[in-house]
Amino acid sequence: MSTAFPTDVVYTETHEWIRIEADGSLTVGITDFGQEQLGSLVYVALPQIGAQLTGGADAGVVESNKTASDVHAPVSGTVLSVNEVLNETPEAINAAPYVQWIFKLQPDADFDAAIFLDAAAYCAMIG
């Protein structure tokens, strides 16, 4: 893999990363492993700003020439913003998966990072 696993985020089993921001909001993207499995991205369907998402449910889609994959909301909450850069350059995720976030979420409840994977656990999961 081209990128080390950042330790300032937590990970999901469905290959999203989550950064907890100082204001309590969450920034969500897909992992390096996730983007490598997909290949060069050609399209990202972003959630709508203001949308109420349910934890575990689909929040968007990332598509490559070979496949498409859902992006899941890690917890229930409201979409605060989306990364508009991805409308024109979805492949930016391939180049910098931990820089190019997909959406920011205001969780409905206090965020419990302990229910997600840390970098070591995620690394072990993907082998």
Residue 88: per-residue pLDDT: 96
pLDDT in tens, the chain (127 residues): 444 789 999 999 999 999 999 999 999 999 999 999 999 999 999 999 999 999 999 999 999 998 999 999 999 999 999 999 999 999 999 999 999 999 999 999 999 999 999 999 999 999 8
For residue 104, which of 6, 24, 15 has the smallest C-alpha distance?
Answer: 24
DSSP-derived letter for residue 2 is: -
For residue 81, which of 124, 25, 20, 120 has the smallest C-alpha distance?
Answer: 25
* End-to-end CA, the chain: 11
DSSP assignment of 29-78 equals EE-HHHHHHH-SEEEEEPPPTT-EE-TTSEEEEEEESS-EEEEE-SSSEE
User: SS3 of 20, please?
Assistant: strand
Domain chopping of the chain, boundaries: 11-112
In CATH terms, the fold of domain 11-112 is: OB fold (Dihydrolipoamide Acetyltransferase, E2P) (2.40.50)
Residue 104 CA, distance from chain mean position: 9
